[in-house]
């Protein structure tokens, strides 16, 4: 076998070169990973040179090294945020004890499951997005897509590193299995629902990076609190990259709104519901945008699981998965008697009930997430406000279009009204993108590969990345 110089090929700060066991495990896994990337990574751009950042270290300089690189040659690295030798477990029954550097035996299964579920989402989104390159609205967006893709690939590496380094044979098997499941595959689907949905167009992509990657952020934030130190340090570093993905989503939707509003203003259309006229301008009407938002927000909420969860409670009590910003919360970090208000269905009404906080951690994390989403929506609405368009985007009620938890298959509309006479399916048909919406959006999806050009339906960015102008050649398509 050809020896791989791991320290060169795999940038890392985990002393890979001197860890024989880990090296052997990665040697076995690495060809399978490259094979997966070539099969399931971005379709058709393996020879293109993409202006990507590569993490080569954990300081701010190290993780923002920009250069042209062919994606299959991307140097996926393994990084842990700097450790603190004094760090103590911050919550649960072991609060105050030194953090674990090895997996505690009694929590091995629980911890492994957390890693596998998190790890499974990372390659899934790459698979979901693999055909989008063919319809990119600009080279800039194409680069952003690829940046997101290679970093999701690196996040898979991060989880695989933990599985292989700390979980022995089981960990190696799980790492293999992460490469064999496929998004949307009938036989071997990805583990979570939203990661088996299609990302058929760029509007979906931006929505996905805003809403679904933000679920990832909250899960990572909760894991960054972990008493298992290698997990905490790994996820802290992943979060620095995740922020960019959400930026892609938020700025992407923002630019879609800008294109729409400026086209409406130019054509002197005040009525946001004059859908046909607006669409004829080659931009996406706001009601369609709202329906896409309804879909992506609701399926992302499902990723938080049922409101009450014994798994989440166990993981908290064990000190493995905390709350968002656990270290900033001022309480006992035990939740022995604390309560938390949870939305519940009571007959035809949605009521708030105080429930043992430990058992409804999923609901709490979901609420934190929804607040964060609401702030992003506010920023989008500012664009509408500035343009003088009388339309505001809103987050649907958390009970709308849910497949998981308290409101599973309940006929709750986006306002939070529980319907008696209207079915779940009818509400969904009214408030989610219609076939016609999707066909219209698909019709706009024509590639724009000229430097500095942007599709009609999306505005140019105010600033691009790495202080480059918008007409920078972000992707050299043919090497």
Partner 1 sequence: MIDFRTHPDRYHHWTLKVNERVAELILNVDEHETIGTGYQLKMNSYDLGVDIELADAIERLRLTYPEVTTVLVRSAKDRVFCAGANIGMLAGATHQHKVNFCKFTNETRLFMEDAPANFVAIVEGTAAGGGYELALSCDIIVLVDDGSATVSLPEVALLAVLPGTGGLTRLTDKRKIRRDRADYFCTLEEGIRGQRALDWNLVDHVIPRSRLGSLLESLVPEASSSAPTPNGINLNELNREVSADAIEYPHVRVKLDRELGVARITILGPTAVPSSAEALHGQEDASWLIATARELNDLICHLRFNEPTLGTLELMTRGDLATAQHYSQSLEAWRDHWIVREGLDLWRRTLARLDLTSRSLIATIATDSCFAGPLAELIWCADRSFFLDNAMTGMVVNPMNLDAFPMMNGLSRLASRFLGEPERLGELPAQFGVELDAATADHLGLVTFTPDEFDWDDEVRLALSARNGFSPDALTAMEANLRFVGPETMATRIFGRLSAWQNWVFNRPNAVGPEGALRRYGTGQMANFQRERI
Q: Cβ closer to partner 1: 80 or 335?
A: 335
Q: Which long-range contacts (CB under 8 A, 24 or more apart) does 362-367 make?
A: 362/304, 362/305, 362/306, 362/307, 362/308, 362/309, 362/312, 362/405, 363/304, 363/307, 363/308, 364/323, 364/324, 364/340, 365/218, 365/219, 365/222, 365/304, 365/323, 365/324, 366/301, 366/304, 366/307, 366/398
Closest CA to 237 of 254, 220, 256: 220
Q: How many CA atoms lie within 13 A of 270 on its CB side?
A: 2
The pair of three-digit structure tokens given for residue 50, joined into one six-digit string: 């993409």
Should residue 110 be labelled a site residue for partner 1 when binding is judged by CB under 8 A? yes
Name the one range near partner 1 by CB under 8 A: 42-50, 108-116, 237-245, 295-303.
Answer: 108-116
Contacts with partner 1, 34-73, as mask; x by CB under 8 A: ----------------------------------------
What's the token pair of residue 393?
Answer: 């985007």
Does residue 409 touch partner 1 according to CB under 8 A?
no
Site membership for partner 1, residue 177 (CB under 8 A)? yes
Nearer to partner 1, 89 or 313 (CB): 313
Minimum CB–partner distance for residue 281 and partner 1 (Å): 41
Among residues 53, 154, 181, 401, the one that binds partner 1 under rule CB under 8 A: 181
Question: Which residues are 98's β-sheet partners?
Answer: 88
Long-range contacts, 413-418 (Cβ 8 Å, 24+): 414/294, 416/350, 418/345, 418/348, 418/349, 418/350
Is-contact 300 428, C-beta < 8 A? no
Instruction: For residue 458, state whether it binds partner 1 (rule: CB under 8 A).
Output: no
CB burial of residue 206 (10 Å; 0-12, 13-18, 19+): buried
- Choices 16-24, 181-189, 197-205, 446-454 (CB under 8 A): range interacting with partner 1: 181-189
Contact call for residue 2 and partner 1 (CB under 8 A): no
Part of the chain binding partner 1 (CB under 8 A), chosen from 49-57, 68-76, 109-117, 236-244: 109-117
- Residues numbered 277 to 306 that lie near partner 1 (CB under 8 A) are 306
What does DSSP say about strands 349-356 and 475-476: parallel, antiparallel, or unpaired?
unpaired
Complex with partner 1: residue 36 or 454, whichever CB lies closer? 36
- Which helix H or strand E contains 246, and what residues bound it? helix 229-266
> Residues 101, 310, 325, 443: which binds partner 1 (CB under 8 A)?
310
CB of 362 to partner 1, least distance (A): 12
Whole-number Å distance between alpha carbons of 460 and 175: 40
Which is closer to partner 1, CB of 271 or CB of 425? 425
Report the site for partner 1 in 187-206 (rule: CB under 8 A). Answer: 187-189, 191
Polymer length of the chain: 479
Q: Are 321 and 223 in contact (CB under 8 A)?
A: yes
313 binds partner 1 (CB under 8 A): yes
Q: Candidates 54-62, 82-90, 134-142, 353-361 — which segment interacts with partner 1 by CB under 8 A?
A: 353-361
Question: Site for partner 1 (CB under 8 A): how many residues?
Answer: 27
Q: With beta carbons less than 8 A apart as the criterion, state whether 161 and 78 touch.
A: yes
Residue among 94 and 154 whose Cβ is closer to partner 1: 94
Task: Evaluate whether 343 touches 398 at the Cβ level (below 8 Å).
Answer: yes
Told to check if 331 binds partner 1 by CB under 8 A, we report: no
Q: What whole-number distance in Å separates Cα of residue 464 and Cα of residue 448? A: 17
Q: Does 113 bind partner 1 (CB under 8 A)?
A: yes
Is 244 among the residues that bind partner 1 (CB under 8 A)? no
State which of residues 112, 165, 217, 236 lies at the interface with partner 1 (CB under 8 A).
112
**Alpha helices in 267-360, H assignment, sequence order:** 275-280, 286-302, 310-317
Contact 191, 120 (CB under 8 A): yes
Q: Is 365 in the site for partner 1 (CB under 8 A)?
A: no
| Minimum CB distance to partner 1, residue 123 (Å) | 12
Q: One symbol per residue from 124 to 143: x for binding partner 1 (CB under 8 A), - otherwise; what is it?
A: --------------------
Contact status, residue 213 vs residue 249, Cβ threshold 8 Å = yes
| Sole binder of partner 1 in the list 118, 290, 359, 362 (CB under 8 A) | 359
Binding-site member from 7, 82, 97, 109 for partner 1 (CB under 8 A): 109
Q: Which sign, positive or negative, has the C-alpha torsion 167, 173, 179, 183?
A: negative
Judged by CB, which is closer to partner 1: 351, or 374? Answer: 351
186 lies in the site for partner 1, by CB under 8 A:
yes
DSSP type of residue 78: B
With contacts defined by CB under 8 A, name the span among 69-77, 206-214, 356-364, 413-421 that binds partner 1. 356-364
Q: Smallest distance from the beta carbon of 183 to partner 1, in angstroms?
A: 12
Q: How far is the CB of 409 from partner 1 (least distance, A)?
A: 12
Contact status: 416 vs partner 1 (CB under 8 A): no
Tokens of 451: 């430097």
Q: Which of 417, 432, 415, 203 is nearest to 299 (CA)?
A: 432
> Which H or E run includes 127?
helix 108-128
**Residue ranges that bind partner 1, judged by CB under 8 A:** 93, 109-110, 112-113, 177, 180-181, 186-189, 191, 306, 310, 312-314, 316-318, 335-336, 356, 358-359, 361
């Amino acid at each position: 076998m050809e020896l791989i110089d791991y320290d060169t090929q795999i940038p890392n700060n985990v002393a890979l070169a001197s860890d024989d066991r880990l090296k052997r495990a990665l040697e076995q896994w690495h060809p399978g990973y490259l094979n997966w990337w070539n099969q399931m990574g971005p379709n058709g751009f393996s020879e293109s040179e993409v202006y990507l950042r590569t993490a080569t270290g954990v300081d701010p300089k190290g993780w923002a090294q920009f250069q042209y690189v062919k994606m299959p040659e991307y140097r996926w690295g393994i990084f842990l945020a700097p450790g603190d030798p004094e760090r103590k477990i911050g919550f649960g029954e072991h609060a105050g004890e030194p953090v674990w550097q090895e997996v505690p035996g009694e929590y091995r299964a629980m911890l492994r499951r957390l890693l596998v579920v998190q790890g499974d989402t990372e390659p899934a989104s790459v698979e979901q997005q693999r055909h989008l390159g063919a319809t990119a609205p600009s080279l800039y967006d194409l680069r952003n897509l690829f940046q997101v893709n290679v970093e999701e690939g690196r996040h898979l590496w991060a989880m695989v590193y933990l599985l292989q380094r700390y979980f022995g044979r089981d960990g190696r098997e799980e790492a293999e299995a992460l490469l064999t499941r496929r998004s949307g595959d009938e036989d071997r689907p990805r583990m979570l629902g939203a990661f088996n949905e299609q990302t058929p167009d760029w509007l979906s992509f931006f929505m996905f990076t805003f809403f679904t990657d933000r679920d990832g952020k909250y899960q990572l934030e909760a894991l960054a609190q972990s008493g298992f130190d290698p997990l905490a340090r790994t996820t802290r570093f992943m979060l620095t990259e995740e922020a960019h993905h959400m930026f892609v989503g938020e700025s992407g939707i923002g630019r879609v709104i800008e294109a729409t509003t400026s086209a409406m203003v130019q054509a002197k259309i005040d009525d946001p519901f004059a859908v046909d006229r607006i669409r004829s301008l080659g931009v996406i009407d706001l009601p369609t945008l709202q329906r896409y938002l309804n879909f992506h927000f609701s399926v992302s909420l499902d990723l938080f699981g049922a409101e009450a969860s014994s798994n989440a409670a166990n993981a908290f009590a064990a000190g493995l998965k905390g709350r968002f910003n656990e270290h900033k919360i001022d309480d006992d970090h035990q939740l022995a008697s604390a309560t938390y208000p949870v939305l519940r269905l009571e007959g035809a009404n949605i009521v708030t009930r105080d429930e043992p906080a430990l058992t409804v951690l999923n609901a709490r994390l979901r609420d934190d997430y929804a607040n964060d989403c609401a702030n992003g929506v506010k920023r989008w609405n500012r664009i509408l406000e500035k343009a003088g368009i009388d339309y505001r985007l809103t987050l649907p009620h958390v009970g709308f279009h849910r497949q998981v938890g308290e409101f599973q298959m309940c006929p709750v509309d986006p306002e939070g009204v529980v319907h008696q006479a209207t079915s779940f399916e009818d509400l969904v048909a009214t408030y989610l993108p219609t076939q016609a919406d999707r066909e219209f959006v698909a019709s706009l999806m024509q590639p724009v590969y000229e430097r500095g050009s942007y599709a009609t339906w999306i505005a140019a960015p105010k600033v691009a990345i790495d202080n480059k102008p918008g007409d920078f050649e972000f992707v050299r398509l043919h090497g």
